[in-house]
Amino acid sequence: MIHQLTITTRGREQMIDVTSMVQKIVDESSSESGSVICFVPHTTAGITINENADPDVKTDILYTLREQFPKSGRYAHAEGNSDAHIKASLMGFSLQVLFEKRSLVLGTWQAIFFCEFDGPRSRRLIVKLVPHA
């Protein structure tokens, strides 16, 4: 089954923890185990898994991406958001997480982050559960 989540971003660049939203879908599943596929259908937003215990990790990731790929640069794309396209491509547009006993299988410090690079916007996150037999 496919679920569509709406993510509202508040800044141009932002990493939003969506782990609890994805876990809720798993909680409501009839399957005890399987995989969750998260897909971002946008070209200037992405998704990743990283640490959520220390908020400085998100700050450092966004800072480094901003330093390496500044908003203004020698880009050919006329819309003025080439940096956002590059950052989203680096993060990726999908990921897969296992779940067992209706619980996401993540490391102690890991969380799923929706990554906005051209906000603020209303975005979609598509989540598909793939039950294991």
Find the domain containing 78 and state its range: 2-131
Alpha-carbon distance of 40 to 115, in angstroms, equals 9
Residues 83/89/93/94 CA torsion (nearest 10 deg): -140
Q: What is the pLDDT of residue 126?
A: 98
Residue 92 zone, left/alpha/beta (φ > 0; ψ -120 to 50; rest)? left
The CATH number given to whatever domain includes residue 51 is 2.60.120.460
- Structure-token pair, residue 35: 């995989």
pLDDT, one tens digit per residue, over 33-86 is 999 999 999 999 999 999 999 999 999 999 999 999 999 989 999 899 999 999
Q: What is the count of structural domains for the chain?
A: 1
Q: What is the pLDDT of residue 17?
A: 98
Count CB neighbours of 105 within 10 A: 13
CB 5 within 8 A of CB 125: yes
